[in-house]
Structure 1
Amino acid sequence: MKNRFISLCFSLLVALSLTAQDFPRSDKRGNLIPDYSYCGYKASNEQIPWVDVKAFVPHIQGDATAYIQAAIDYVSSLPMDASGFRGAVQLDRGQFQIDGGLQIAASGVVLRGSGSGEDGTELLGAGQDRTTLIRVAGRLDRMWTPKQAASKAVKVGDMFICVPNANKYQVDQTIMISRWATKEWIDQMDMNDFGGESSYIGWKVGDEKRPSDVEIHWERQILAVSGDTLFLDAPLTCAMTTEEAFVQVQTWPGRIAQSAVENMRLTSTYDNENPKDENHRWMAIVLDNGEDLWVRRVQFRHFAGSAVFVTDHVRRVTVEDCQSFAPVSEIGGSRRYTFHTMGGQCLFQRLYAEQGFHDFGTGRLAAGPNAFVQCQADWSHHMSGAIDAWATGLLFDGFNGEGVLLSFGNRGQDNMGAGWTAANSMMWNCSAAMLANPTPPTANNWAYGAWGQMQGRFESADSFVKPQSLFYAQLAARNAATKDDVRKLMPIDTQSASNPPIDKAQRFVAAARRPAMRLVDWIDSLQVKEPLALVAQSKENTQWMKQYGTKKCAKKNTSLMTLNQGILTKDDAILSGRSQGIVWWNGSLKARYLANSSRPHITRWAPGLTGTGFTDDLNEMTDMMKATDHLITNHHYGLWYDRRRDDHERIRRMDGYVWAPFYEQPFARSGQGIAYDGLSKYDLTKWNVWYWNRLKQYADLADEKGLVLYHQHFFQHNIIEAGAHWADSPWRSANNINDMGFPEPVPYAVDKRVYMSEHFYDVSHEGRRAMYRNYIRKSLETFADNGSVIHFISEEYTGPTHFVAFWLDVIAEWEAETGKDAKVALSCTKDVQDAILADENRAKTVDIIDIKYWNPTMTGFNAPPGGVHLAPRQYGRLRSENFNVKAEVKARSMSERMYEVVSDYRQRFPEKAVLLSVGGDTWAALMGGASLCSLPSGLPQAFKEDVVKMRPMENKDVMQIGKVGVGYVCYAPGAKSMTLQLNGDKKKYQACWINPRNGKPVGETFSIKAAS
């Protein structure tokens, strides 16, 4: 086996040495130009196979999502054959309307249309949501053994790695090889920061607890073990010292393989009146958690995000003979990334794209090799090439970009600190308006045959080199059976035309009488010459239809949270658990941040990426909440949309190259003008459909699973404190096309701080009042049928009484019109709260009193006033005695004081629930009658049901609740004994002590009755 690998490497060098006189065999460190041909389905060792049809889907009218998914699920349930395939689903000719999304979640399943042309199959992604049209994805359940350091350094192009105790590894095992980024290497790269205060986006080293921002991972299969050497199935594309290279055995039971999408047209509907509409489909096809996948002969139209998006959990993919036309979106970051990979060993060949942003590119740390072979980008709005940090082993082979930059360069701060984007990468026979091929420290990049303006290192500039394709030359050198595959490339005439003989000149003249062949036409011609075979509908391939519609969904728990005599309950029991907020403004797609700082979020959007820190899977998120004893998600719109604003600058951005992940806003963009973030201005009368759909989906899950959503209508943080808070706000006049009447330019205090609260809370302005009213009603309408949603005026609200009155009036108006009853919480400063509760008419609209922006003290209250234009933390920085309000206090401890305050509100407003969001002793709050307390998860269900029936009782020694015939609960922090008041209850009870920290019984139960 070892000799086999030596001969392969040697034949590769011999073949390449024939292609160009100056082709380097290695650099002074022994690094080779990698063999890029190990990309694609089965590493291009096998042709993409034909898979037999097992389910035929006849055309139907209306939404076909469930219809087609049933066929996919049927084939997914079939056994795999010896080649690893279950079968293909063939769609009839015609247009199928897809209101949802399709998913292939099993290995060996192919979704095939009847052609991508006008008379073929079209899947029309309908509606205004962003649901991915087709997702081919397994489960992310991979595991690794502990890391083991390599025993010898690794050179670029090596197809082996040396480790101690290599005999512990086995042939056919999959290993993950990681390259740790050391401080010394980052210093060499000069990537610690990008000037100014940009160190927070500079490259960071890793440690045992946190990965580096630039840690690369290659997946490789072991082909042989000899001595201390593991021989691999593909080359490594970055040099590593023994301090940087680590090996782990990987298992991944949920990963899928050999599934595909082919031979169809995918189209998204969109708003024809808005050329930058984003209330429609973003991703046509996403590949995730898979290997040996393919997409071929698919035409894409009008998607906002990507035609094909490959995540970093994917390897060995072929995407070929596809075309993307007329994308519809804003011109900016994370849009129009037409053919994009973050994975490894991906082959993109014979592809055409127009009007994209990054039409062909690699994402962050794409572990090579990856190859783009004969791809063309027309009328692109930005660059193709290496888009984000340190993609290694990238080949652009025969790329043609009309007016496009093809770049392997250092992008500096772009993409949140991309810095150096490509290493050990190759441009071969490429043409573009500008080609940038600089040499990064510690690595190489190469370019042979180039047409266009050039920047960096180029060989054979303004010339063609032979062979036409480096990829296919390398492939033929190691696998002679593939030598004819190059014939599918569009031929390029590279003969000399400068001084031709007369007969050749006449041939050139004849050829000039018609337009040159374009790649888009060549792709069409291949499908005509070599069409995929189609089958007719038959009894055998429609067996799946017998099962369609017969599956019954399990009945879900749809009982709603209700307000019952001032207590919030579900299924006749109190609800308890912890509360989680969302991230207000910061975020990153870098591994270091994701491993330590990311939190669940409802309306965070990371196109193509699913999981915590990206776009959360809400079903998984709510399951995790249940598992970790979280009850509440406190949600508001993001402080700003774009991660560039995380720098807290308040300047206007020079372009729309926004950074993901995005904290979405409630409103749609108008397609008109330019907002401060460089995208178009908002239209406050139109909704961001995805934003509201996500909130609605969470609320539905909360109803089902016994969770709660705090829906904050506004977010005061936008209008007070740092100027950046207001810079990108949709409410700001500079950022919308509506009449809001806010002053522009913004009168920042000392040219830095924003005090927009007086303007914002002034509803005398007719346009502003109308926009607020419309928005409040949208919040109410969205959750009209949900019981788990509590409406709050604003996170951090310290505003005036009149704005709360306006808010409540709009709610009362809506409730009267609709007959619906929203759960409305009054959460504000104490003076505003008490003023509203004293207003009989408006108090009727309030269902819940939330103690959050003031707190009890042993002398009364710490109660900052409302409407004085200070934020909660600004109050906190002032001396607390400025806000002390004296009151009669009987309590002997802060726990008793909490009990006293909650109990007081419950007695004065018995029909209203009370929340103690300010923090403190939650057991004391429960005893006072508060709802949604964060109690220990270990409490028995019977306890939660009985407590609903109990009420506070007079007891001078302890805090006590109870009900005759039901039971009693007493709480006395620190006490070793207590006296119960049973009020003549003659029933004999079994009692026990409860640990207040975990809710579990302590010691044996004992009997108790009156006078005992």
Structure 2
Amino acid sequence: MRYDRWGRLAYEQDAEGNRIPDFSHAGYRNGERPIPHVPVVKTIRPVEGDNTAHIQAALDEVAALPRERRGALLLLPGVYPVAGTLYVRAGGTVLRGTGDGEDPASNTIIKATGNTPKDRDVIVAGGSAGGGWTGEVPGTRTEITTDLVQVGSREFEVASPGSLRPGDNIVITHPCTEEWLKAIDYGGHDVGPAWQVGEHPIIYNRYVREVSGNIVKIDVPVFNHLNRALSPSFLYKWDRAGLVTQVGVERLRVDVEYHGDPEQDEDHAYNAIVLLRTEDSWVRDCTMLHFTQAGVATQETTRATVENCRAVDPVSIVTGGRRYNFNAYVYSQQVLFRDCYAYKARHAFVSNGHSTVSGVVFLRGTSEYALNSSEGHRRWSQGLLFDGHKDIDPHYDYTLGLYNRGRYGTSHGWSAAHSVAWNCDVSTSRLIVQKPPTAQNYAIGCRGTITGDGPFQQPAGYIEGANQPGLVPPSLYQAQFLDRLRP
């Protein structure tokens, strides 16, 4: 990638057609509008004892208002013991505190008590898990007939555009076929169960921008080749059932109560804040402590921003399934984690959602005392960007990975494809970047030990400018964003 003579970004591709994709659509409203400051419509203060019902009743009162009159529920300073889960269910609703510090005189502290039900979430903003984006509007399915839609492409030909119109929310599916699995070496591991037909379709949640004849143009590029010879892809209009839009959590502290050894106790809440089945949602200016798995997790979520948040001091056994401080889980796309900080994580900034996760940007994230690596974690996550990531005092051999994870976990295999580490600093640790079959991963302008030598032997990915100063542009995401908005 380079700037051309007109000052626009120009992308080069290799012999397989691999190229760095455009990550600039990540975030609330694709980054094109700032997160709104929603006016306060109700204010409460803490009561004695469990505050779950107290806060939920206030949230439900806001939710009962007409959509145009909803806004923020403000929790005044103090400690709010919460023994259950708080649900921000209605679009246009924000749960807001007065600050995320430790002093209850001026900050809002959600104290998550107990473990009933076991491994619960403390705050869920959005809807209920709906199994992804499977709600197909009848009569809208059509096959993609372009032989090869290359990574980074925004248009293709379909068999019949039918009723498709600009603004339609569509789902693109690249089935997980025997031919595709064979092309990617069945996930790239020789121990443990091979990936199976149908297990890992590549799925994209997109909007139609333009329909011209049989050509459909979409808003966000695809992050993997759609090769008709390996897997005939198709699309349909999504019914958006259960989707919640314009919800947020702001300016509060979630402190999970625990007892005993912080590297043994797990009798407490699991995730602090979850964005679930949302579009155009956000979490900002929050601190989460003592969770088992995630400070913030996203699931079935598109166009979200997690900004200026701290996920610190997880309490759990130091082993698999735990300490994923900022976690893009299944069906997370166009999610921006910006200026966030993780402490004592196993996987501080991670895609843990396999082939349904793509277009996730970790911008200027800082991981301190890492006990494992930030990474694409398993089974063909695509289009991940670690931009300006920094490790401080790492306590693991490698702390950033776009690589093959082989037999780890549930035969994780190729954990990232068409993904980029840009201007990252892994300190005294290693950054591992390897090349998957049919795809590529990149490490550009990074500092530390930058290598293709991972725990499982595979070809090295594309490495350029390691430990050299003066990378231009210093931020890939910001350069792509500015380039996209230029007339």
Q: Is the 8 A contact 2:324 2:346 kept in 1?
A: yes
Partner in structure 2 of residue 476 of structure 1: 482
The correspondence for 1:425, drawn from 419, 424, 446, is 419
Q: CA deviation at 1:12?
A: 13
CA 1:193–1:263: 2 relative to 1, 3 Å? closer
**CA deviation after TM superposition for structure 1 residue 181, in Å:** 2.4
Give, as a single letter, the amino acid of the residue that structure 2 aligns with 1:39: A
Q: AA paired with 1:467?
A: P
Task: Determine helix, strand or coil for the equivalent of 2:60.
Answer: helix
What SS class does the counterpart of residue 292 from structure 1 fall into? strand
Q: Is 1:401 aligned to residue 391 of structure 2?
A: yes
CA distance in 2, matches of 1:100, 1:134: 9
1:389 aligns with 2:384: no
Q: CA deviation at 1:184?
A: 2.5
Give the TM-score taking structure 2 as reference length: 0.89
Contact 1:192 1:204 in 2 (8 A): no
Alpha-carbon deviation of 1:128? 3.3
Mapped pair 1:162 → 2:157: yes
Determine if contact 1:140/1:255 at 8 Å carries over to the other structure: no
Aligned amino acid, residue 442 of structure 1: T
Structure 1 position 14, deviation (Å): 5.0
Equivalent position to 1:116, from 100, 103, 112: 100
Cα pair distance change 1:371/1:273, threshold 3 Å = closer
Matched to 1:451, the amino acid is R
Gaps of 5+ in 1: 1-9, 18-23, 206-211, 482-1012
Taking only aligned residues, the RMSD between alpha carbons, in angstroms, comes to 2.0
Is structure 2 residue 83 aligned with structure 1 residue 93?
Answer: no
Residue pairs, 1:271-670, within 5 angstroms: 271-273=259-261, 275-311=263-299, 313-342=300-329, 343-363=332-352, 364-402=354-392, 403=394, 404-432=398-426, 433-456=429-452, 457-464=462-469, 465-479=471-485
**Matched residue SS, 2:474:** coil
Q: Which residue of 2 aligns with 1:232?
A: 218
TM superposition shift of 1:458: 1.1
SS where residue 20 of structure 2 aligns?
coil
In 1, distance between residues paired with 2:75 and 2:123? Answer: 14
Change in 2 beyond 3 A, CA 1:62/1:341: same
Equivalent of 1:177 in 172, 188, 193: 172
- Whichever structure has more helix as a proportion of its residues is 1
1:967-1005 deviation per Cα after TM superposition (whole angstroms, max 9, x unaligned): xxxxxxxxxxxxxxxxxxxxxxxxxxxxxxxxxxxxxxx
Aligned AA (1:184): E
> Structure 1, residues 329-368: CA drift from partner, whole Å, max 9, x if none?
0001111111010311110010111111111010212432
Distance 2:246 2:76 in 1: 22
Structure 1 residues 139 and 98, CA, compared in 2 at 3 Å: closer, same or farther?
closer
Q: Kindly tell me: are residues 13 and 328 of structure 1, through their superposed partners in 2, closer, same or farther at Cα, counting changes over 3 Å?
A: farther
Distance in 1 (alpha carbons) for counterparts of 2:248 and 2:33: 15
Contact 2:374 / 2:399 at 8 angstroms: preserved in 1?
A: yes
Residue 244 of structure 1 and its aligned partner are, at CA, apart by: 3.2
Tell me how far 1:417 sits from its aligned partner: 1.3
Matched residue of 2:309: which SS?
strand
Shift, 1:195, TM fit: 3.1
Cα distance change on mapping 1:407 and 1:54 into 2, 3 Å: same
**Quick check: 1:103 aligned with 2:87?**
yes
The aligned counterpart of 1:252 is: 240
Aligned length: 453
Alpha carbons 1:193, 1:203 under 8 Å: kept: no
* C-alpha distance in 2 between matches for 1:354 and 1:13: 43
Task: Quote the Cα distance in structure 2 between the aligned partners of 1:166 and 1:351.
Answer: 42
Among 178, 181, 185, which residue is 1:186 paired with?
A: 181
Does the 8 Å CA contact 1:275/1:328 hold for their aligned counterparts? yes
Find the aligned partners of 2:275 and 2:435 in 1 and give their Cα distance. Answer: 32
Q: Is the 8 A contact 1:449 1:463 kept in 2?
A: yes
- 1:140–1:354 distance in 2 versus 1, CA, 3 Å: closer
1:862-894 superposed Cα distances (whole Å, 9 cap, x missing partner): xxxxxxxxxxxxxxxxxxxxxxxxxxxxxxxxx
Question: SS at the partner of 1:194?
Answer: coil
Matches of 1:86 and 1:26, distance apart in 2: 48
Are 1:215 and 2:206 matched, yes or no? no
Alignment of 1:12-91 (within 5 A): 14-17=7-10, 24-81=11-68, 86-91=70-75
- Shift in CA distance, 185/229, structure 1 to aligned 2, threshold 3 Å: same
Change (3 A) 1:140 1:308: closer
* Deviation sequence 1:775-831 (CA, Å, 0-9, x none): xxxxxxxxxxxxxxxxxxxxxxxxxxxxxxxxxxxxxxxxxxxxxxxxxxxxxxxxx
For 2:438, the aligned partner's letter is T
The answer on whether the counterparts of 1:11 and 1:478 sit within 8 Å (CA) in structure 2 is: no
Question: Tell me, what secondary structure is at the counterpart of 1:168?
Answer: coil
Q: What TM-score, normalized to structure 1?
A: 0.43
Alignment check: 8 A CA contact 1:58 1:92 kept: yes
Contact map agreement 1:237 1:367 (CA 8 A) in 2: no
* In structure 2, C-alpha distance between the alignment counterparts of 1:231 and 1:253, rounded to whole Å: 24
Change (3 A) 1:307 1:362: same
Give the 3 Å change call, closer, same or farther, for CA 399–116 of structure 1 in structure 2. same
- Structure of larger gyration radius: 1
Query: Following TM superposition, by how much is the alpha carbon of 1:409 offset from its aligned partner in structure 2, in angstroms?
Result: 0.6
Match of 2:194 among 199, 202, 209: 202
Amino acid at match of 1:291: E
